[in-house]
Amino acid sequence: MNKIRTVIIDDEKNSRDNTRLMLSKYFSADVEIVGEAENGIKGKELIYEKRPDLVFLDVSMPEMNGFEMLQTIPDSDKNFYVIFLTAYSNYTVDAIRAGAIDYLVKPLMKEELIDAVNRARKFIEGEKAKNNVVNSGGTNSKLMIAHSKGFTLIDFNEIIMMEAAGNYTDFFLTNNRKIIASRTLKDYEDILDKKLFFRVSRSAIVNLNHIKEYNSSTETLYLSENLQIHISKGRWQEFNEAIRNSTINPNK
């Protein structure tokens, strides 16, 4: 794996220096620090310039704090992971809501930093799912699903449905298996073959090959493994066309 491209955004120079020194000491072979910034405004510019994999982000900064800076970046541009840094421990809930990998209280502790970077590395190793998707018509079609323990490779035909769970996605697979992936449902919608996978609502995508029945009175789809999911009214017409195009139907 290539080195993790990392930026440090912190208004305290001593804190930036300490973070840089600790990363150099414990992760010299894994982490490349490509830039530093002293506030949120410059930090945002640095992120767009350097396109890092990982951002160490201070919470409390003048003009624009870390949370505010993240809010100014569209989700489509958040192609990086965040580890928050702060002198206080009362921002934990906000950090979780912001989708951070970890939340470290300054001064940094060796063990906590190592755990956080190792966790980030696991996410980053599996994060390039787009590069691991083979055309679904191929005989070796697989999808890489990144999760908290690393990643799992699965065949497309093993996927019955996917359901959004905040910044994560629940994969429901054949043989009653379930994997919680560390990417959003939108990330997978963007890369999967739309002839095979269809988004039936804001929170769910189904594999058309695993649909067994549709009940119009309850607007419910019945899938393999006794799974079922509601289809939204706004998606019905497009869904009906997708089903007709993927099946032999005398009423076409």
Residue 196: strand pairing partners: none
Rounded Cα–Cα distance for residues 140 and 130 (Å): 15
Rounded Cα–Cα distance for residues 154 and 151 (Å): 10
Which of 127, 162, 197 marks a domain boundary? Answer: 127
Examine residue 18 and state whether it is found in any structural domain, yes or no. Answer: yes
pLDDT at 248: 57
Confidence of residue 96 (pLDDT cuts 50, 70, 90): low
Highest mean predicted confidence (pLDDT) among 125-129, 139-143, 158-162: 158-162
pTM of the model: 0.54
Amino acid present at 224: S
Q: Are strands 31-37 and 4-9 parallel, antiparallel or unpaired?
A: parallel
Rounded Cα–Cα distance for residues 142 and 74 (Å): 29
Q: What is the CATH number of the domain that holds 237?
A: 2.40.50.1020
Confidence of residue 134 (pLDDT cuts 50, 70, 90): very low
* Residue 140 pLDDT > 50: no
Beta-carbon contacts of 73 under 8 Å, excluding residues fewer than 6 positions away, are: 44, 47
Is the dihedral angle over the CA atoms 89, 95, 96, 100 positive or is it negative?
negative
Mean pLDDT of 42-47: 95
Mean pLDDT of 202-229: 93
Confidence of residue 92 (pLDDT cuts 50, 70, 90): low
Give the Cα-Cα-Cα angle 37, 40, 43 (nearest 5 degrees): 40
Indicate whether 59 and 172 sit together in one domain: no
| Domain boundaries, position 223 | 135-246
Indicate whether 177 and 193 sit together in one domain: yes
Average pLDDT, the chain: 85
Examine residue 10 and state whether it is found in any structural domain, yes or no. Answer: yes
**Percent residues over pLDDT 70 in the chain:** 86
Rounded Cα–Cα distance for residues 27 and 98 (Å): 25
